[in-house]
C-alpha cells in the first residue's frame, strides 16, 4: 500500500460522471465565457443559497477584491488586518492604496473594532476587515465607526461562504463583501470568486469593471480588468452547490470529533464557537500555548514527520512581509495580539473526506 500524506485540505469533488452533462451542454452552446447561461444560473443559485440579492462572479477572489475597491473609488489609506492571506493587502497595493494595519482581537482573530478609531487619519477612506476562519467580525461596531467617519467597508469574506449572523447572511454587512471559490475553500469552482453587491446599480458597475470596463459594444467606462468567470467554472459551481450541504455537514462531524478528542489537553487551546453565527467549518485552528510540551513549530514538525500536513495559517503576518514591513503601522508594538497569535496558531487538516481514523491519528500525536 502506498503511504499517503494527510493534507491540510483537499478539494471536494463530486463524481466525475455528474459533470459530463454540463460539459456536453457547453459544447452544444458554444458559449464559453462572458455571462453565459451557466454563469447566469450560478449567480441566481448563489443568491438563493446565500440569502443575498446581487452577486457578481469573478475569475478568482483576488481580482474580485481589487475590483471591489476600484468600484467604490477608494483612495488614500485603508484600515485592514495583518492577520490574513496576503491577497487582502495586495488588493490595496494594486489600487495604489496604503494599508494601515490594526491589531486583532485574540479570541476571534478578527480586526479589533476598539482599535480602529485611533488609526483613522484625514486620508482614511475605507476599512477592509476579514471574517477570519468564517468568524463574523464585529460588524455592528465597524459599521458605526464607518458611519461616524464617512468610511466605506469592504469585507474580505473569503472564509465566510454560507455563514449566517443573527439569522441573516453575514455577507450583507458592509458596502461590499468578497468571496473566494479557490480549490482550498469550502465551496470551490477550481478558481473563482465573487462580489456581493447591495443593489443592481453597483452590480452593473462591477460587471463592467470585470469586463475591461465595457458598458456596451463601443462604450468603455473605466480601466477595467478581465475578471470574468468562465462557463466551465460556473457549471462546476452549480454542480458543487448540489453537494455543498452534505460537504459542510461532514466537516461539522470532523470539527466535533476534534473538539472531543482535544478537550482538556494542557497547552492546546481550541477557540470557542462564535455566538449568534452559523459555521461553515472551513478551518480547524488551534493555539499551541506555552504550557504545551512542544512549541508550535515543534508540533508542526512532529505532525509533518508523521505525514500530516498542518498549516501555520496565518504566519508570517502580512505586516512582516518585505513589501509591507516598512509601514509605520506594521511596527510590532502596534500589532501585539496578531504577533502572539501568529506564533501559536496551527490549522489542522479538515475536509469532507477526512476519515475518522486519520483524525484519531492526528489527535493521538498531539496527545502523546
Ligand X SMILES: *Cc1c(COP(=O)(O)O)cnc(C)c1O
Q: Are 41 and 238 in contact (CB under 8 A)?
A: yes
Q: Which is nearer to ligand X, 180 or 334 (CB)?
A: 180
Q: Are 146 and 72 in contact (CB under 8 A)?
A: no
- State the minimum distance, in angstroms, from the CB of residue 161 to ligand X: 11
CA–CA dist 3, 367 (Å, integer): 23
CA–CA dist 92, 101 (Å, integer): 12
302 is a catalytic site residue: no
Site for ligand X in 167-186 (CB under 6 A): 180, 182
Of 8, 26, 57, 60, the residue at the interface with ligand X (CB under 6 A) is 60
Looking up cell 478528542 gives: 261
Instruction: Give the sign of the dihedral formed by CA 193, CA 196, CA 201, CA 205.
Output: negative
The one catalytic residue in 166, 185, 246, 304 is: 185
Rg of the chain over all Cα atoms, to the nearest angstrom: 21
Of 12, 56, 62, 311, the residue at the interface with ligand X (CB under 6 A) is 62
Site for ligand X in 151-170 (CB under 6 A): 156, 158-159
Site for ligand X in 298-317 (CB under 6 A): none
- State the minimum distance, in angstroms, from the CB of residue 137 to ligand X: 12
* Displacement of CA 33 from its chain's centroid (Å): 25
Which residue stretch of 9-17, 84-92, 256-264, 334-342 sits at the interface with ligand X (rule: CB under 6 A)?
Answer: 84-92
- State the minimum distance, in angstroms, from the CB of residue 36 to ligand X: 20
Which residue stretch of 38-46, 81-89, 296-304, 315-323 sits at the interface with ligand X (rule: CB under 6 A)?
Answer: 81-89
By the rule CB under 6 A, 61 interacts with ligand X: yes
Site for ligand X in 117-136 (CB under 6 A): 130
Which residues does 41 contact at the CB level (< 8 Å), separation at least 6? 234, 238
CA angle 174, 340, 103 (to 5 degrees): 30
How many residues make contact with ligand X (CB under 6 A)?
Answer: 14
Q: Are 137 and 115 in contact (CB under 8 A)?
A: no
Binding site for ligand X (CB under 6 A): 60-62, 84-85, 87-88, 130, 156, 158-159, 180, 182, 193
Query: Hey, which residues are catalytic here?
Result: 185
Amino acid at each position: 500500500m502506498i503511504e499517503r500524506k494527510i493534507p491540510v485540505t483537499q478539494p471536494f469533488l463530486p463524481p466525475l460522471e455528474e459533470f459530463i452533462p454540463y460539459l456536453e451542454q457547453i459544447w452544444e452552446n458554444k458559449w464559453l465565457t462572458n455571462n453565459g447561461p451557466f454563469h447566469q444560473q450560478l449567480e441566481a443559485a448563489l443568491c438563493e443559497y446565500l440569502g443575498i440579492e446581487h452577486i457578481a462572479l469573478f475569475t478568482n477572489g483576488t481580482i474580485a477584491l481589487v475590483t471591489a475597491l476600484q468600484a467604490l473609488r477608494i483612495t488614500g489609506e485603508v484600515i485592514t488586518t495583518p492577520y490574513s492571506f496576503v491577497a487582502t493587502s495586495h488588493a490595496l497595493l494594486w489600487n495604489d492604496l496604503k494599508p494601515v494595519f490594526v491589531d486583532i482581537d485574540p479570541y476571534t482573530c478578527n480586526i479589533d473594532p476598539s482599535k480602529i478609531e485611533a488609526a483613522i487619519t484625514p486620508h482614511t477612506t475605507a476599512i477592509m476587515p476579514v471574517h477570519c476562519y468564517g468568524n463574523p467580525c464585529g460588524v455592528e461596531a465597524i459599521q458605526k465607526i464607518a458611519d461616524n467617519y464617512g468610511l466605506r467597508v469592504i469585507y474580505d469574506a473569503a472564509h465566510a461562504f454560507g455563514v449566517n449572523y443573527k439569522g441573516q447572511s453575514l455577507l450583507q454587512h458592509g458596502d461590499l463583501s468578497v468571496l473566494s471559490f479557490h480549490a482550498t475553500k469550502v465551496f470551490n469552482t477550481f478558481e473563482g470568486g465573487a462580489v456581493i453587491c447591495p443593489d443592481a446599480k453597483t452590480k452593473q458597475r462591477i460587471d463592467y469593471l470585470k469586463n475591461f470596463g465595457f458598458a456596451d459594444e463601443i462604450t468603455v467606462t473605466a480601466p477595467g480588468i478581465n475578471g470574468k468567470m468562465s462557463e466551465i467554472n460556473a457549471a462546476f459551481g452549480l454542480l458543487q452547490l448540489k453537494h455543498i450541504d452534505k460537504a459542510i455537514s461532514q466537516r461539522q462531524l470532523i470539527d466535533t470529533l476534534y473538539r472531543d478528542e482535544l478537550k482538556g489537553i494542557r497547552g492546546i487551546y481550541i477557540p470557542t464557537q462564535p455566538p449568534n453565527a452559523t459555521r461553515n467549518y472551513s478551518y480547524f485552528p488551534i493555539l499551541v500555548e506555552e504550557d504545551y510540551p512542544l512549541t508550535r513549530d515543534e508540533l508542526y514538525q512532529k505532525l509533518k514527520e508523521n505525514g500530516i500536513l498542518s498549516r501555520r495559517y496565518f504566519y508570517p503576518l502580512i505586516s512582516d512581509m518585505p513589501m509591507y514591513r516598512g509601514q509605520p503601522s506594521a511596527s510590532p508594538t502596534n500589532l501585539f495580539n496578531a504577533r502572539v497569535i501568529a506564533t501559536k496558531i496551527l490549522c489542522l487538516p479538515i475536509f469532507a473526506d477526512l476519515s475518522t481514523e486519520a483524525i484519531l491519528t492526528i489527535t493521538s500525536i498531539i496527545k502523546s
